Amino acid sequence: MSNPVILDGSLTWPEIAAVAGGAKLQLSDDAWCRIERAREITEALVANGIRGYGINTGVGALCDVVIDESQQKALSRNILLSHACGVGEPLGRAETRAVMAAQIANFAHGYSGVRRETVEGLLALLNADLLPVIPSRGSVGYLTHAAAIGTVLIGEGKVRHAGTTMSGKDALHRVGLQSLVPLAKEGLSLVNGTPCATGLASLALARMAGLLEWADAAAALTYESLGAQVDPFAAMPLALRKSSGLQTVGTNLRRWLEGSERLKQSAGSRTQDPLSLRAVPQIHGAVRDAFTQVAEVVDRELSSVTDNPVVAGTASAPEVHSQAHAVGAALGLAMDSLAVAAAELAAISERRIDRLVNPLVSGLPAFLAAENGVCSGFMIVQYTAAALVAENRRLAAPASLDGGITSALQEDILTHATPAADKALSIIDNLATVLAIELLAAAQAFDMQPQTLPAAAATSVLQDRIRSRAPYYRDDRPLNALVLDVKELVSASLPRIDLG
């Protein structure tokens, strides 16, 4: 069991990803104090009749309708139920946990005004792995996803646990809680902010981080079979290009290929290699630079208050401020950027796959087939990679520009941060599959080399890891099963290059 994540100030994307993976979440005493202080301010706002959006007014285009104190509980409950209108397949376990962790982290900043009991309910469900069923479609930002979580706290909705589904009320009973009656502002706060986008974005970053390493490993294994330079990624010429991502890739490639006698034998057979081989540092490096920029945005969002309105001041001098902090423009743009970067990484991988299987350029048996003519080998799985790359191009269209008008012109610009994160996750999943195909093809090419000279020590270790999952292919089994086996390896671990 991993160590719990302690929420004191702000969480980071790796911490959200750790909770998504199953780590428990704990709040510090200071975090609980911030939550309690914000609730005292909210109650003072209600007691003093200070108008606040969603506290004692309607929401959306109904923001100027004042709600009497006797109806504020009903307002909060109705917000949760009416906003729980998502459709489609539910989010997965990791995605749901990521969103819940980000939601709790947002409340812990101490500006939302929900009760301690409300956060305790969310925390108890999360740590018990009693996860609300969150429909994945129907949100332009955050409302429907978050409402599916909030309805569970009031005993409605559905919850999944260990393969079973139960009512929200039964899930609460399992952790010793009763259904909550949401008080003023709690209904709005439970559907508000950017936790849906930040949670999914954190998960996307975690999955992408591992694939960055596997992409370098796959490229190195491919290069050893197809490359024509003895020192293709030398440090001095690469240092002339100012990019930390490029330098990291160059270092990785040199470590993977160090001591390869196979490359020494092929050295000088071409003046320079094709771009899908030669430009690996430049393209993989640019993707890493984009990743770093996106990670900074996500961490900045996690350290920010994204509720509307925010409560501030003190219980004796309460303040409420209607801003637009729930708008996730920064996250939408960042996730669109990550989606394009992941699509680019898959595109260059597919080009290397084509060179491995294409007898016109590979110098290897056609389509890496064990027997020419009788076997098709890797001919059609390259089609699969091409299809996924084409799908990525379609998915990479920017969600942040989709626009739209909702709530009778009151909400007349939409930035689609949650859909941007969702489609980035889809592209990253496709990337993992394409890299698995490249690793399979590169492993086949590794075994088909006509020379008997030794490969690099690191690529030999990598070859053994692939072969532990996927034997040499002779058209003797469905190839997609092997792709899934290697994809599982890619998704669950990092490539090992430490030979010490």
- Which residues neighbour 106 within 8 Å (Cβ) at sequence distance 6 or greater? 112, 193, 194, 195, 305, 306, 307
Residue 53 a catalytic site member: yes
- What are 263-276's pLDDT values in tens digits? 888 877 777 888 99
**Which of 169-178, 210-219, 261-270, 374-383 is the least confident region?**
261-270
Express as a percent the part of the chain with pLDDT over 70.
95
Q: Are residues 130 and 251 in the same domain?
A: no
pLDDT at position 500 is: 46
pLDDT at position 112 is: 94
Q: Is 316 within the bounds of a domain?
A: no
Q: Is 500 within the bounds of a domain?
A: no
Indicate whether 453 pLDDT > 60.
yes
Q: Are residues 185 and 211 in the same domain?
A: no
Q: How far apart are CA 97 and CA 151, in angstroms?
A: 16
Q: Are residues 93 and 215 in the same domain?
A: no
Q: Are residues 9 and 48 in the same domain?
A: yes
Q: Are residues 270 and 172 in the same domain?
A: no
Where does a domain end: 164, 192, 220?
192
- What are 409-433's pLDDT values in tens digits? 566 567 778 899 999 999 999 999 9
User: In which element (H, E) is residue 318 found?
Assistant: strand 318-321
- Short-list 136, 139, 146, CA closest to 101: 146
> CATH code at 332?
1.20.200.10
Q: Are residues 483 and 420 in the same domain?
A: yes
Residue of higher predicted confidence among 452 and 129: 129
Confidence band (pLDDT; 50, 70, 90) for 58?
confident
Q: Are residues 412 and 381 in the same domain?
A: yes
Q: Is 318 within the bounds of a domain?
A: no
Where does a domain end: 135, 163, 192?
192
- Which residues neighbour 63 within 8 Å (Cβ) at sequence distance 6 or greater? 53, 57, 410
Q: Are residues 259 and 398 in the same domain?
A: yes
Indicate whether 408 pLDDT > 80.
no
Give the mean pLDDT of 296-310. 94
Indicate the number of domains in the chain. Answer: 2
Where does a domain end: 159, 192, 225?
192
Q: Are residues 378 and 255 in the same domain?
A: yes
> CATH code at 27?
1.10.275.10
Q: Is 43 within the bounds of a domain?
A: yes
Q: Is 319 within the bounds of a domain?
A: no
* Location of structure tokens 């501030």: 312
The domain in which residue 423 lies consists of: 201-307+324-492
